Structure 1
């Protein structure tokens, strides 16, 4: 984690207010975290075009500030849960940034990268040096029960959309398809890393409560 102040520095981004590419200037900062969460750096900045303020955040996962500030306010999308691995959050955030910049084909490509990262994180890899095609990794996730039939269908549509973006076909990705791709990818991340873990914790807590209740009933008065 660097102790150097960011106040007065500039960085490029698409302004969340005027939606134009700009060099934002950091006017003040604050730092926190470090015990139960990664250290974070909050940066209050202003747009070089419209001069409206916005709040950015960077996180340190052991290698210093990531250098890619995330818009905290004003925010049009909710932040992904910290239960989602950092690598997947970065990929999905880049997809969001592409969408904000109206780069819809690039959005589709980043959604596909997110999908591929999820498969690899879930252990869906082939032989050493020979990664499986994404289609096969998704099939394996379905066959192992990590995703159900509907999520498999969603993921396959995201794969096809990503292929459309990655290869020159003469057809660009529409805004509507890019927006749906982002939403479906986010739902997949929530299902795998947030809701599944929450449901398992719920079942474990319920089972523990039932076991204690049964133990109390069988204990002599």
Structure 2
């Protein structure tokens, strides 16, 4: 983003409420140093600034760009990823899905769609689903794991999204949007939770009852 030095002015937009890209916690971000001002490129331009995470364990710095007309953040560094609880997730599945989240946060939507598809492949491999391709493996998964029919249908739709993204011959690969990948990530999170995390949550609940 190119900003003319002649239009830059010092200002203060105060604290900013957002989620920390370092520790993942929500918070009201404060100034890192008292004499570091925000910069504005004018009433129709952008505001640039830096804040610090209020979490005393983290204290990570966040660089932001804000639209001065709407006073909302539209870009940050590091990028803020969609939150994801990785407890109880096998390493290969966790690292693959986290790469999909990283791609999405950096606005690399085609790459994110491909990694979502790869996440499904890793889930099928981990659960021993068989087949010559991912479509057959997802069909096999229906007999191995207990999932709502809607999530199993969603897995097949996610397979198609990632497949379109991976092939340049597809007319759809260049049209994958933020909202399309965002809902795909939400569905993948639900599939992961249902397969790997609900059982652990139930075990924790039963342990609490036994110890109470």
Please give the TM-score of this superposition, normalised by the length of structure 1: 0.54
2:138 aligned partner: 138
Instruction: Using the TM superposition, give the Cα deviation of residue 197 of structure 1 relative to its aligned residue in structure 2, in angstroms.
Output: 3.4
1:93 aligned partner: 98
1:182 aligned partner: 185
Q: What is the rounded CA distance, in whole Å, between the counterparts of 1:82 and 1:205 in structure 2?
A: 17
Pairing partner for 1:198 from 187, 198, 201: 201
List gaps (5 residues or longer) in structure 1: 1-14, 18-48, 57-72, 127-131, 210-221
Q: What is the rounded CA distance, in whole Å, between the counterparts of 1:140 and 1:203 in structure 2?
A: 31
Deviations 1:154-212 (A, max 9, x none): 1011101111111112332111111111111111111111013333x279769x97xxx
Q: Given that residues 80 and 89 in structure 1 are in contact (C-alpha distance below 8 angstroms), is that contact kept between their aligned partners in structure 2? A: no
List gaps (5 residues or longer) in structure 2: 1-19, 23-47, 60-77
2:149 aligned partner: 149
2:83 aligned partner: 78
The number of equivalent residue pairs is 142
Q: CA RMSD in A?
A: 3.4
| Residue 122 (1) aligns with residue 127 (2) | yes
Deviations 1:93-124 (A, max 9, x none): 11011111111111100000001000100111
| SS of 1:176 mapped into structure 2 | helix
2:40 aligned partner: none
Q: Given that residues 91 and 110 in structure 1 are in contact (C-alpha distance below 8 angstroms), is that contact kept between their aligned partners in structure 2? A: yes
Instruction: Using the TM superposition, give the Cα deviation of residue 16 of structure 1 relative to its aligned residue in structure 2, in angstroms.
Output: 5.0
1:27 aligned partner: none
Instruction: Using the TM superposition, give the Cα deviation of residue 140 of structure 1 relative to its aligned residue in structure 2, in angstroms.
Output: 1.1
Q: What is the rounded CA distance, in whole Å, between the counterparts of 1:100 and 1:144 in structure 2?
A: 33
Please give the TM-score of this superposition, normalised by the length of structure 2: 0.56
Q: Given that residues 141 and 147 in structure 1 are in contact (C-alpha distance below 8 angstroms), is that contact kept between their aligned partners in structure 2? A: no
2:165 aligned partner: 165
